[in-house]
């Protein structure tokens, strides 16, 4: 999964990515935008985006849900920007699939 993301930026860029994920989740939860049976898909994608878990899947679900609801064009493209940037350091993806040091031995006992 780490190959899907270039990096997990922290500080300013990480907060910006967190804000982007939260704004996208809020756009998915807006009342009156759930036409047909797409509300469950949009709410699932919003929950995944808020937590930052499995972000590529959540972004694809969000894009499909917004396209099916005939959302305005900028809102349909916003998930694709998040797909290209990655989830950021303040997400569960960073904790689960973050960078690891290779070749490092564990400390000895005692």
How many whole angstroms separate alpha carbon 93 and alpha carbon 9? 12
Which SS3 state, helix, strand or coil, does residue 34 take?
Answer: coil
Sequence-ordered list of residues with C-beta below 8 angstroms from that of 54, at least 6 positions apart, any chain: 48, 93
Pick the closest to residue 18 from 73, 94, 77, 74 (CA basis). 94
Per-residue pLDDT reduced to its tens digit, 15-72: 888 888 898 888 888 766 556 667 888 889 899 999 988 888 999 998 888 888 777 8
Q: What is the pTM of this model?
A: 0.72
pLDDT of residue 48: 92
23: three-class secondary structure by DSSP: helix
Of 93 and 108, which is predicted with more confidence?
A: 93
């Amino acid at each position: 999964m780490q190959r899907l993301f270039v990096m997990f930026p922290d500080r300013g860029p990480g907060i910006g990515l967190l804000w982007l994920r939260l704004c996208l989740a809020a756009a998915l939860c807006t009342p009156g935008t759930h036409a047909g049976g797409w509300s469950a898909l949009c709410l699932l994608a919003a929950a995944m985006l808020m937590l930052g878990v499995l972000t590529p899947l959540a972004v694809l679900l969000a894009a499909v849900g917004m396209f099916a609801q005939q959302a305005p064009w900028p809102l349909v493209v916003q998930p694709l920007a998040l797909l290209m940037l990655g989830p950021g350091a303040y997400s569960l993806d960073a904790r689960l699939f973050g960078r690891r040091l290779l070749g490092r031995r564990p400390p000895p006992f005692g």
